[in-house]
């Protein structure tokens, strides 16, 4: 889908802050509110804007326990469907947050979120490793998130400028 300059501006602005009010967005791209609204709707319907999500630092939510693991998976691709079939079988599991087909030492990179390491271990040994096409798995637990989706956690980016300057 070929996007216009205004549409590209919209997705750049909303990708950075999905909560930008429509009237502010309209002023930023120099279009009337109605027209801006229509463009946003069009982008949503075309699945260019897939979803509006919040980036959460769960460590700050007391009582919330959880672990994230990245699993390198080697698989045997199947004739006719390649890696797509096994990828789909994996991404359908609700524990699976993302699945990427990779080049290099392994085929699929799978990100899993569970309540505990035992939870993840159970998922890997019982659900993932037992799939027919899966040859091997290597599990890496994420110890700390410093940066996610381009956002630095705890960057302490307060404005250090003096209040009035030349």
Partner 1 sequence: MKPQTRRTYVSETVAGLKPSGIRRFFDLASSLDGVVSLGVGEPDFVTSWSIREASILSLEQGYTSYTANAGLFELRQEIAAYLRRKFHVEYRPEAEILVTVGASQAIDLALRAIVNPGDEVIVVEPGFVAYEPLVVLAGGTPVAVHASGADGFQLAPARIEQAITERTKAVIICSPNNPTGTVLRPSELDALARLAERHDFLVIADEIYAELTYEGEYISMAAVSGMRERTILISGFSKGFAMTGWRLGFAAAPEDILQAMLKIHQYAMMCAPTMAQYGALEALRNGEHEVEHMRNSYRRRRNYFVAALNEIGLPCHLPGGAFYAFPSIRHTGLTSEQFAERLLLEEKVAVVPGNVFGASGEGYIRCSYASSLEQLQEAIKRMKRFLARL
Residues that bind partner 1 (CB under 8 A): 9, 12-13, 17, 20-21, 24, 27-30, 157, 159, 161-166
- Integer Cα distance of 26 and 113 in angstroms: 38
Residue with smaller CB distance to partner 1, 50 or 165: 165
- Integer Cα distance of 91 and 99 in angstroms: 6
Residue with smaller CB distance to partner 1, 126 or 157: 157
* Per-residue CA distances from 55 to 72, 116, 149, 153 (Å): 24, 21, 9, 10
- The closest of 131, 121, 143 to 71, measured between CA atoms, is 121
3-state secondary structure of 84: helix
Residue with smaller CB distance to partner 1, 23 or 132: 23
- The closest of 95, 90, 93, 125 to 108, measured between CA atoms, is 90
The CB-of-161 to partner 1 minimum distance in angstroms stands at 5
The CB-of-19 to partner 1 minimum distance in angstroms stands at 10
Residue with smaller CB distance to partner 1, 32 or 82: 32
The CB-of-40 to partner 1 minimum distance in angstroms stands at 15
Tokens representing 136 are: 């091997």
The CB-of-151 to partner 1 minimum distance in angstroms stands at 14
């Amino acid at each position: 889908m070929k996007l216009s300059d205004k549409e590209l501006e919209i997705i750049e602005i909303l990708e950075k802050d999905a909560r930008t009010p429509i009237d502010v967005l309209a002023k930023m791209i120099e279009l009337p509110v109605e027209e801006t609204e229509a463009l946003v709707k069009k982008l949503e319907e075309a699945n260019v804007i897939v979803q509006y999500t919040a980036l959460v630092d769960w460590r700050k939510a007391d009582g919330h326990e959880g672990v994230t693991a990245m699993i390198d998976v080697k698989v045997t691709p199947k004739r006719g469907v390649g890696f797509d079939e096994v990828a789909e079988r994996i991404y359908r599991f609700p524990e699976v947050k993302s699945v990427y087909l990779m080049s290099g030492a392994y085929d699929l990179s799978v990100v899993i979120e569970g309540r505990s390491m035992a939870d993840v271990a159970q998922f890997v040994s019982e659900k993932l490793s037992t799939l027919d096409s899966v040859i091997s798995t290597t599990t890496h637990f994420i110890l700390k998130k410093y940066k996610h989706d381009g956002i630095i956690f705890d960057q302490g980016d307060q404005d250090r400028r003096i209040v009035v300057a030349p």
